[in-house]
């Protein structure tokens, strides 16, 4: 019985690259998930382990980062074409390249000063991401009741305006201090109401929209020295601007963005190209409440 090698391909899947473009104090971002598959004269690597025709998957990943720096990212399609053509044209043993790109869209969070846009605009919210939540407890009409509103997966990002330094260092600490970093998180927020109606807040929808906007405004408007500081500022803003609320609980994973070292490829990287890591991540949790917030531990579960 004859046994032969069938169609095959190999590549680097899901390289997460974020490209920040600065036009003065106004930033734009492109956030991509890039998967590359190559095929060609690859029989011998399968049959005998001869790697002479193999472009490593690590090199494919590095090419994604390097091309993001050299050429920028005008669109997902153009970036994919540039990569695919490069892989085939630069290696005679590679006959076909498949490049799949997923793009994550971001909307700017306008930051105002005196009612007009601030000169620096570098805050973003992921388009169409979050889910609205509501949790109600009731012992019936006239009995004890509580309402907790909230949202999950509100993904936000500041491309500058964040530092992290001055922390404890022990023999296992390798993280370097920074005075300029990307700060990104997926916010889970829940806020407890004083009563069981929205009062003069314009109804539940208006109350939710106002609390959500307060979270965004605080995230965008806070120069952050830690994600904990930003968490407190966001909770405080909700309580200040929405008097119908009395307690806010927040969970905010630190969605790390690491500056890619492009020096081996003769390229600089002044906080322009980042690797977006999904795990492990720091998880920051906390609550902020008014001084007159009634004790209601059962309202949250």
> Which residues are designated catalytic?
12, 57, 256
Instruction: State the sign of the Cα–Cα–Cα–Cα dihedral 81, 87, 88, 89.
Output: positive
Measured torsion, CA atoms of residues 48, 52, 54, 60, in degrees rounded to the nearest 10: 150
Contact between 67 and 277 (Cβ < 8 Å):
no
* CA–CA separation, 252 and 197 (whole Å): 28
Tokens representing 204? 């539940």
* CA–CA separation, 218 and 125 (whole Å): 13
Burial class of residue 300 (count of CB atoms within 10 Å of its CB; 0-12, 13-18, 19+): middle
* CA–CA separation, 135 and 140 (whole Å): 15
Tokens representing 83? 């990569």
Consecutive H or E run containing 112? strand 112-113
């Amino acid at each position: 019985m004859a046994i032969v090698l069938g169609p095959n391909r190999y590549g680097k899947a899901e390289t997460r690259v974020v490209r920040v473009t600065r036009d003065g104090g106004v930033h734009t971002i492109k956030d991509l998930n890039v998967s590359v598959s190559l095929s060609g004269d690859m029989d011998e690597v399968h049959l005998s382990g001869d790697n002479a025709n193999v472009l490593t998957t690590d090199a494919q990943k590095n090419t994604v980062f390097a091309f993001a720096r050299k050429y920028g990212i005008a669109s997902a399609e153009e970036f994919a074409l540039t990569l695919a053509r490069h892989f085939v044209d630069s290696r005679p043993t590679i006959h076909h390249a498949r490049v799949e790109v997923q793009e994550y869209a971001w909307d700017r969070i306008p930051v105002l000063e005196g009612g007009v846009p601030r000169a620096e605009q570098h805050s973003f919210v992921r388009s169409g991401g979050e889910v609205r939540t509501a949790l109600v407890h009731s012992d019936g009409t006239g009995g004890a009741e509580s309402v907790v509103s909230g949202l999950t997966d509100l993904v936000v990002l500041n491309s500058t305006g964040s530092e992290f330094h001055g922390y404890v260092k022990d023999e296992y600490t390798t993280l370097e201090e920074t005075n300029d970093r990307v700060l990104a998180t997926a916010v889970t927020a829940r806020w407890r109401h004083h009563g069981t109606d929205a009062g003069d807040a314009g109804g539940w929808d208006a109350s939710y929209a106002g609390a959500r906007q307060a979270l965004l405004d605080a995230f965008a408007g806070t120069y952050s020295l830690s994600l904990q500081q930003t968490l407190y500022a966001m909770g405080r803003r909700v309580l200040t601007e929405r008097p119908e609320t009395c307690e806010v609980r927040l969970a905010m994973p630190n969605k790390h963005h690491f500056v890619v070292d492009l020096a081996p490829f003769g390229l600089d990287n002044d906080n322009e190209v980042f690797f977006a890591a999904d795990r492990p991540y720091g998880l920051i949790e906390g609550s902020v409440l008014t001084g007159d917030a009634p004790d209601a531990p059962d309202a949250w579960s």
